[in-house]
Structure 1
């Protein structure tokens, strides 16, 4: 585990090696811990009274976003998302999520996040530039900035998904191939996984914006409402994209069905043309001869060419009729 302890004041940002010194320093304190499996979090638990179950929720990637109130702080869990190439197929992407835990106290904020997450960095230039504003508005405003950065990243993921949907739609309308259906189903799975992250996140941020959390000042509730509005927009976009992928899938299935119908129609027309020809060949193939009731054509010199010419005329007339009907 790596700890970063930073105090934001109106004069700037001060970094501390000791967590206690950072808390005692003037301004608002942000302690950020980069954690992974097996990380030693006793310092966080002992100094801030963070419950072990809350830390366990951060480490468990299956935990849904939520808000929980404790005696002297509030725990917020949100998920970051990113798209990566799927390993099981040659195309398509997959949504990956990582948990970020925020503990909002009186004058302090503790965040737990995976090491590779760049969104949460107390010494990043964006945080340094806003140190005075953070110092004036409190740790809850700092928590808002972290949550806002996480939610803003959701729109980048949605942009990537939208590009994938547009690419698939072009191929559906152009040259539908069997693998397109699998790719469409993959996009729908990604949207469903994304919805499982954003829907509870909307409820969690909504709780922070309603004035129910003592660690959130009334003056800062409007900022959390802004994040809530963004999450509502994200959820709406997810539903819209799911409808688009459903429409693309219907277009693909209709195109395949139409192609199958065209093939069946062609085969039916060909079979219909050969039915009378087969009848004629079958009748004259009986080869009855030698009595007064036998086929008189069997002894006619021009019987064979006449039969072939008649069959050709019948086939030509049927083809002309089918063309006029638009079946060929």
Structure 2
């Protein structure tokens, strides 16, 4: 479904196949168009006088959320978010966004998306029982309901990210494996991408909540302030989760560093023990004999076992000392 046309009246909700008929019908009109069908999008753009630059912003996935005022309507761009399993690795998730543009006019709302939007399809039928409320409050109230649904999905995404962070934190404390660092970096990337969506969306909704848009009635500004408050909470949660991932990464790096230090300490102790043993072996390896000044042990029957016993005693004394010092 690329074009959805709904008119809210005091008698209920009516759907139309023709855009012109929906516009001429009494009531509050909501039209959703996606770029999957260029003809429908062009018809809606021409009928409501939507600015071509604003439509291009919706179709460009690199455009940040924003709000702009045009002649006869206000344009608001926000982005939906969802998490999916990454294809390039066996673990981790990545965040996907999709733009949705809201054009709010006097008595009408047009929403535009690059492709079919899962958020829109179930939304209008769910509001059929509230048609009187929509008629009383106007098309800007419809825009609030769409924005509120988008922001509610933000909380769902953050809940998934929080679950991933808790799972990684537990593994950091129990089994600090090398793969954990990549997972933590992946979560940090997702939170950064999420922040790039939520932060400008907060500013865009703030424009509607302050009365800067003539298409937003004063009585409906409190609803947009409620969405703004939710976005403030979303941004704060994203920052908190970034701090948590940074803390988990520090714990992992400290655990790896501590493990490395333990290995180096053991190797240092072993090398230290072998230093005097190497000296003894080196001295007796000179094999000087045949002169009165040569080593008398070379001709002694018990010279070899005595030397080995002396080396073992030195090693034992050093090990005992290291244990008493707490180095082992």
Q: TM-score range by the shorter chain?
A: over 0.9
Alignment match, 1:314:
314
Q: How does 1:237-316 map to 2 (within 5 A)?
A: 237-316=237-316
Deviations 1:154-173 (A, max 9, x none): 01111111111111111111
Deviations 1:24-55 (A, max 9, x none): 22221111112238555221122111111111
Aligned residues: CA RMSD: 1.5
Alignment match, 2:198:
198
Retained in 1: the 8 A contact 2:19–2:44? no
Alignment match, 1:33:
33
Q: Secondary structure at the match of 2:127?
A: helix
CA 1:297–1:142 in 2, change beyond 3 Å: closer, same or farther?
same
Q: How does 1:151-230 map to 2 (within 5 A)?
A: 151-230=151-230
Deviation at 1:252, TM superposition (A): 1.1
Alignment match, 1:232:
232
CA distance in 2, matches of 1:7, 1:207: 26
Aligned pairs, how many? 328
Which structure 1 segments of 5+ residues have no match? none
Q: Secondary structure at the match of 2:243?
A: helix
Deviation at 1:237, TM superposition (A): 0.7
CA 1:94–1:29 in 2, change beyond 3 Å: closer, same or farther?
same
> Which one is further off, 318-327 or 18-27?
18-27
Q: Secondary structure at the match of 1:293?
A: coil
CA 1:39–1:276 in 2, change beyond 3 Å: closer, same or farther?
farther
Retained in 2: the 8 A contact 1:32–1:122? no
CA distance in 2, matches of 1:163, 1:293: 78
CA distance in 1, matches of 2:114, 2:53: 17
CA distance in 2, matches of 1:180, 1:116: 36
CA distance in 2, matches of 1:113, 1:105: 18
Alignment match, 2:91:
91
Q: TM-score, normalised by structure 2?
A: 0.96
CA distance in 2, matches of 1:286, 1:38: 93
Retained in 2: the 8 A contact 1:32–1:121? no
CA distance in 2, matches of 1:298, 1:127: 103
2:22 corresponds to 1:22: yes
Deviation at 1:222, TM superposition (A): 0.4
CA 1:122–1:84 in 2, change beyond 3 Å: closer, same or farther?
closer
Retained in 2: the 8 A contact 1:207–1:213? yes
Deviation at 1:9, TM superposition (A): 1.9
CA distance in 2, matches of 1:98, 1:189: 17
CA distance in 1, matches of 2:192, 2:207: 23
Retained in 1: the 8 A contact 2:2–2:36? no
